[in-house]
Structure formats: C-alpha cells, structure tokens
Amino acid sequence: MLEIKGLTADIGDKTILHGIDLVVPNGEVHAVMGPNGSGKSTLAYVLAGREDYAVTGGTATFDGQDLLTMDPEARAAMGIFLAFQYPVELPGVNNANFLRTALNAQRRLRGEDELDAIKFLKLARAEMKNLAMPDDMLKRNVNVGFSGGEKKRNEVLQMAVLRPKLAILDETDSGLDIDALKIVAEGVNALRGPGFSALVITHYQRLLDHIVPDRVHVLAGGRILRSGGPELALELEANGYAGVVAEAA
Amino acid sequence: MSASVASSRAPATGGFLARFEGFRAQLPGDPDRRAQAADLFRANGLPGGLPGRRAEAWKYTSLRPVAEASFREPLTAIADCAGLLARLPNVGLPRLVFVDGRYRGDLSADGFPAGVSISTFARSPDFGALARPERENMVALNTMLAEDGVRISVADGVDGGTLMLVNLATEQSGRATAFHPRHSIRLASGARLSILEVSLGDGVYLHNPVTELVVAAGAHLSHVRLQDEARTAFHLSTLYADIAEGATYDSFALNLGARLARTEIHARLGGTGATVHLNGAQLLTGSQHADITTVVRHDAPGCASRQTIKNVLSGRSRGVFQGKIEVDRIAQKTDGYQMNQALLLSPDAEIDCKPELEIFADDVKCSHGATVGELDRDQLFYLRARGVPLAQARALLVRAFLTEALDAVTDETIRDALEAAVSRWWESEPL
C-alpha cells in the first residue's frame, strides 16, 4: 500500500508540492488528473527518488517502508516502477542488455537468483508479443530513434518484464494513437490483481476509458483538491478543471 | 649557475645520439639518410622536451619524461615473451611478431595468400618517401636508429585477407629500453588488406614506430590498432598514409595503455574520390597522458575524411586531440568531418582539443565539433529508477559511450577483440 501524508517538495527555491495526502491500497488503480503545472510529474519523480527535488516535509511509505530515505534503485527493487513521460535515450545500450541488467539488478538487490540470457529472452519475447512489438526492438539501442509511441510501448514492456508492485504511469498516454493506447492499456490491465497497484497520471480522460480506475484524484496547485470514483473523470472531461479548482479555492 | 642554464637550453636528446654513434656502423640501410636524421635530431632534440622549445605541434604533450629517462639497447636474446603472447587477442589470425622491435620469425606465421609478400626492414632497409624527419623530430630519431620493421606488399587486385601485426616489449630488469621500428605497407591498385596491430609489453620502454602506408588507386586498407602498452611505457607512433584515387584507408586506434602515448597520423588524399577514416578511442586513468594528433591533407577533388575520437578520462589523466585538415585549392568538393568527444569521470581529468582547418578551395564541406561532459543525469536516473545501482549505471553508460566508438570497426572479429581488451581494462580499473 502506498501512503502519502502531507508531502511537500521544492525544486530550486520553488515549492511544487504543497502537502499531498494520498493512499493507494494494494490491488487498486488510482488516477491522478490535473492541469499542466499542477505538480503531477513532480509527484511521480519524488516517489521514484529523483534527486533534483528536495522533499521538505511529510511522509511517503510503501508497504510500511519509508520511501523517502531510499535510493531510486532500492525503491525499484522493492517494486516501484515509474513509466517516464519522456523516456530517456541510451545510445550504445541495447534494449535486451538494458532490460536484463535492470531485472537482474533488482533480483540481486532482493536476494534472488539472476536470470540467464536464455530464460530472460524467453520472458522478454513473450511480453513483446503481448505488446505487439517486433523482436528487433530488443536489439535496438534503448529508445534511440524510437517514435513517441514506440517509446511508451517500451516503457510498458519494461513494466511487464519487471513486474512491479506499484506502477506510476506519468502521462503514458501522451503521444499515443488510439491503437497504441489500447495496447498500452491492455499491458497495464494484464498486471491488475491483488499484488499490483498503479498511480495513473494523466491530463485527459481517454486513457481511463481503457484503464478504468478505482479512484480518481484531482491535483492542482500542488494539492489534491478532490477525490472520487471513476465518474469524476467524466465530470472533469465535460466541465474542465476550472470548476474543481474554483470550488476548492 | 650559468652552465646549468646553458645546458637546459640545449636540445634534450635522451642519450640517443650516443647510441647512434656507437651503433651506426651496424645499422642497416642508407647511412646518409641516417646521418642527416642524426643532424636534425641533434639540432632539434626531443619535441616538447624542454620549456621554451615547444613547437606548436607539441603544445599539449611534453616529452620531458622521455628526455629524462636513460634508454638502452634491448637485450632480445634473453627475452621470454610467453606471457605477453598469451595476452594477445585470441582471434586466430596469421601474425607477424616483433619483440623489442625485432622480427621473430619463430613466433610468426607464414603462408600468406599469393600476391602478399612479407619482408623486414632489417632484410631490405628502405626509408621510403613519405616520412618527414625534418618536420617531425620523433621521426628523425626513428630514422637515426631504426633496426627492423615489417614490410608488407599486396599485389594488384589481390585480397590479402586479415593479419595481425604484433609489437611486444619485454621487461628487462632495471633496464629502460628503446626501439624504433620502421614499418612499410603497400597496397597496389585494387588490392585489399586488413591489419590488426597490437602493441603491448611490460616494464619501462620507449616504442617509437614510424609507419608508411601507400594505398594505390582503388585499394582498401583497414588498420585497427590496439595500444595496450605497459603503464610505465612511452608509446610515440608516427604514421604517414598516401591514399590514391578511389582508395580507402580506414583506421581505428584504441589507446588503453602507456604512461605517455602519442598517435600521430599524417594522411594525404592524393587522388580523386579517396577516403580516409581516422577514428579512435582513448580510455585513460591515473596519470596517463594520451595524445592523438592528425593532419589530413586533401590534395585532390571529391575526397572524404572522417574522424571521430572518443575519450574516457578518469583520475588525473589527460587526453589530447589535435586535428588539422588542409584543403588544397584544387580539392573542390572536399568532405571533411572531425569530432572529438570526451567523458570526464573525475574533476582532475583534462581534455585538450585543438581543431584546425586550412582551406584554400571554395566549394568544400568541412566541419568539426567537440563535446566535453560528465555522465548524463537523466540517463543515470533512468537506469537507477529501473533498479540498476549507481556504480553499475555509471559503468554501463561509459561502456555505451565506448561501444558507440567501437562501432566504427566493421570487422566483427576485430571489434570483439577490442571489446575484450576494454573489458579487461574495466576489470582492473573499476570506476
């Protein structure tokens, strides 16, 4: 279970998060929606451990463990996965090597046996098939020369191979056409179950047609202004964020 | 006081002239060429060896440590090189082996394809026509003292395949040695040859080879050099390449070893449509210093030159790249490209980069660029967010930077050999 209480964070001398309270129980998918600049991506980065942000107050725990004192790699090994809004290109590192290095690093940190190349390839190829990705994506350098949609699909592939307990999807829908959106959504839905929870950060409602959330939260000005069921997303789609923001002010 | 000032202004010659006087009667080849070279060396000494005498070409690399060492004749008769041979890349190529600068037929293969002839400088000493001892002092030194070297020629239209040229230096307890191989490689029209040249050794020594390459019309020479000398050694190589119409000289230099290294290349594109690639990578640590200096001369129209040099510098190491492109007024449609990239892994590491373009034609495309940086923060975070610990993430990104450099080597067997050398370096030097 992810529990965030009174979380505040700065970048440089600017405060972005003004006290976030949010609980995502195991097995649930929650959406975080909000206008541009509301702090959605900052929340994602802070949970994943990006050092550019300074946490100035509050707590964030996962399954009772204090996330904020952990290195990013330790958070990943305990099952937290951030699907990047802008996946990073790694020239000179091929996708297969990257994925296997990541998987085995996590397994090592958890005290599990590493996967050999053959077992790994079998696993990766099966997941790629589910995501309608061609086999040669494994040989290509990570995200180099990938289209926007391929990059996002590659994030979901990593998620499928790494099998996190909590996935944070930072605007994974941006830049996707409808077919790619469906594939990505199916990739997330396939992981749904009691041992998997997700925080789906999005600007638009359309992703939530395909990944139906248990709860929807509206983030604006660095605070959660409203929470509700999936119908809240529809209301936002119809009326925009202005109503919610005005109501809270 | 005045005496010491006077002596510090004399050219530093590192005892090489005394050796020349002692051995000159036994040295092979044209004695007049040697005597001229000795005069030049006497007048100019070791380049950059003393303050106040630094030529522009040696602005960033001082040979003071070479001038201060005392080098002696290698005693090859006592050399045991089994350990060194075991360190050679296991590539199954026919090889030509030099130990302490002297050809060792007993360690070398024969049976090269018809049309490939192999000899040595000791057997048929010929100083060639490309080397410029009057301009390059290290070449004057080589010309004065060269004893041996390889001579390879490939006949018209013959594919000479791939061979390995090996330069080993043996440890000779308490003796710092110096040797000055003189290599010559000639490809006749339409011939092909691929060479993997490996230099490695133990102990304190100066390896000062001069290589002449003649690539005739339509010929193709691929030349990959792995410099993995002892960390206590000096490696100062000078290479001259003359590339004719439609011919290609495709080279790559990987510098891993030596306390001080200089890879100096003078390439002349002398016929229409000639191509030269002078790529390389330097991986340095501790107080290593490595310098790649190139002069590419476009003397004919429609030629292309490509240079990408990548440096990975840790500790207090220093990398140097000086690249000059000269375009003659008749060399229209020249396509020249030069890129130097450096990854600095420590605040004490240093890169010096000096591009120079000298263009006398008006319809040319010449570009140069340089990047210097630390590891990319976004890339590091991306890897860590996937569970890769910081140290491993750093290593992976440095390897990736080098992998991109090694991609310039198209022969897979040879690229694998370079990758293996980088891996060995890596195991001994965790960052």
For all residues of chain B together, what is the average pLDDT? 92
Q: What is the pLDDT of residue B4?
A: 42
Mean of pLDDT values over B129-153: 96
Residue B423 structure tokens: 């891996």
Other Cβ atoms closer than 10 A to A210:
16
Mean of pLDDT values over B136-153: 96
Residues B265 and B388 in one domain: no
Top residue of A46, A73, A143, A159 to mutate, by most chain B CBs within 10 Å, is A73
Query: What CA–CA distance (Å, rounded) separates B394 from B430?
Result: 10
DSSP string computed for B329-354: TT-TT-EEEEEEEEEE-STT-EEEEE
Q: How confident is the model at residue B54 (pLDDT cuts 50, 70, 90)?
A: low
Q: What is the pLDDT of residue B357?
A: 95
Q: Tell if the CB–CB gap between A76 and B399 is shorter than 8 Å.
A: no
User: Chain B partners of A48 at a C-beta cutoff of 8 Å?
Assistant: 385
Q: What is the pLDDT of residue B351?
A: 97
Q: Tell if the CB–CB gap between A76 and B397 is shorter than 8 Å.
A: no
Kind and range of the H or E run holding B402: helix B390-406
pLDDT tens-place string over residues B211-269 = 999 999 999 999 999 999 999 999 999 999 999 999 999 999 999 999 999 999 999 99
Min distance B343 CA to chain A CA atoms (Å): 14
Residues B259 and B393 in one domain: no
Residue A73 sits at the chain B interface (C-beta within 8 Å): yes
Q: What is the pLDDT of residue B78?
A: 64
Closest alpha carbon within chain B to A163: B386
Contact B46, B11 (CB under 8 A): yes
Top residue of A90, A97, A141, A142 to mutate, by most chain B CBs within 10 Å, is A90
Identify whether B278 is part of a domain: no
Chain A with chain B: Cβ pairs closer than 8 A? 74
**Interface pTM (ipTM) of the complex?**
0.96
**Residue in B379, B387, B396 closest to A73 by CB:** B387
Domains, chain A, in order of start with CATH, read 2-93+165-248 (3.40.50.300)
Burial-class residue A166 by CB neighbours within 10 Å (0-12, 13-18, 19+). Answer: buried
Kind and range of the H or E run holding A16: strand A14-24
- Could you tell me which of B309, B238, B308, B240 has the C-alpha nearest to residue B270? B240
Residue A39 sits at the chain B interface (C-beta within 8 Å): no
Give me the half-sphere count of Cα atoms (radius 13 Å) on the Cβ side of residue B140.
21
Closest alpha carbon within chain A to B382: A88
- Phi (first) and psi of residue A151, to 5 degrees: -60, -45
CA A120, A126, A129: angle at the middle one, nearest 5? Answer: 135
Query: What CA–CA distance (Å, rounded) separates B380 from B368?
Result: 28
Identify whether B425 is part of a domain: yes
Contact A233, A29 (CB under 8 A): no
Residue A158 sits at the chain B interface (C-beta within 8 Å): yes
Give me the half-sphere count of Cα atoms (radius 13 Å) on the Cβ side of residue B50.
16
pLDDT higher for B109 or B198? B198
Other Cβ atoms closer than 10 A to B284:
27
Which residue in this structure is represented by tokens 């107050």?
A: A57
**Residue in B381, B396, B402 closest to A101 by CB:** B396
Q: Tell if the CB–CB gap between B384 and A88 is shorter than 8 Å.
A: no
* Domain final residue pick, B269, B284, B316: B269
Mean of pLDDT values over B134-149: 95
* Domain final residue pick, B235, B269, B303: B269
Mean of pLDDT values over B146-164: 97
Distances (CA, A) of A191 to A96, B120, B260, B271, B394: 21, 69, 56, 63, 31
Q: How many helices and strands (H and E) does chain A possess?
A: 9, 12
Mean of pLDDT values over B335-349: 95
Rg (CA), chain A: 18
Residue A1 sits at the chain B interface (C-beta within 8 Å): no
Q: What angle in degrees, to the nearest 10, is found between the helix axes of A95-109 and A148-162?
A: 30
Which residue in this structure is represented by tokens 């024969």?
A: B110
Residue A71 sits at the chain B interface (C-beta within 8 Å): yes
Closest alpha carbon within chain A to B387: A73
Residues B260 and B400 in one domain: no
Min distance A166 CA to chain B CA atoms (Å): 13
Number of domains in chain B: 2
Percent of chain B at pLDDT exceeding 70: 94
Question: Is the pLDDT assigned to residue B347 strictly greater than 70?
Answer: yes
Identify whether B296 is part of a domain: no
**Residue in A87, A91, A103 closest to B404 by CB:** A91
Q: What is the pLDDT of residue A130?
A: 86
Top residue of B308, B382, B390, B423 to mutate, by most chain A CBs within 10 Å, is B382
Q: How confident is the model at residue B50 (pLDDT cuts 50, 70, 90)?
A: low
Q: DSSP 3-state helix, strand, coil percentages of chain B (rounded to 5)?
A: 25, 40, 35
Question: Is the pLDDT assigned to residue A100 strictly greater than 70?
Answer: yes
Question: Is the pLDDT assigned to residue B205 strictly greater than 90?
Answer: yes
Across the strands, what pairs with B307? B338
**Residue-number span of the structural domain to which B431 is assigned:** 377-431
Burial call B109-142: b when 16+ CB within 10 Å, e when fewer: eeebeeebebebbbeebbbbebbebeebbbbbbb
A247 three-class SS? helix
Q: What is the pLDDT of residue B5?
A: 42
Identify whether B303 is part of a domain: no
Min distance A145 CA to chain B CA atoms (Å): 15
- Give the strands of the sheet with A215-220, arranged side by side: A80-83, A166-170, A197-202, A29-33, A215-220, A223-228
Query: Length of chain A in residues, anyone?
Result: 249
Q: What is the pLDDT of residue B49?
A: 63
User: Chain B partners of A50 at a C-beta cutoff of 8 Å?
Assistant: 381, 385
User: Chain A partners of B400 at a C-beta cutoff of 8 Å?
Assistant: 90-93
pLDDT tens-place string over residues A61-73 = 999 999 999 999 9
Residue A16 sits at the chain B interface (C-beta within 8 Å): no
Closest alpha carbon within chain B to A45: B385
For all residues of chain A together, what is the average pLDDT? 93
Mean of pLDDT values over B300-305: 98
Query: What CA–CA distance (Å, rounded) separates B427 from B369?
Result: 32
Closest alpha carbon within chain A to B384: A73
Identify whether B281 is part of a domain: no
**Residue in A51, A91, A105 closest to B387 by CB:** A105
* Domain final residue pick, B242, B269, B296: B269
Q: Tell if the CB–CB gap between A73 and B381 is shorter than 8 Å.
A: no
Identify whether B284 is part of a domain: no
**Residue in A49, A51, A92 closest to B401 by CB:** A92
Identify whether B322 is part of a domain: no
Residue A93 sits at the chain B interface (C-beta within 8 Å): yes
Distances (CA, A) of B170 to A70, B14, B130: 51, 21, 30
Identify whether B332 is part of a domain: no
Residues 6+ apart with CB under 8 A from B182: B121, B125, B127, B142, B143, B146, B148, B149, B209, B210
Min distance B394 CA to chain A CA atoms (Å): 12
Q: Tell if the CB–CB gap between B397 and A90 is shorter than 8 Å.
A: yes
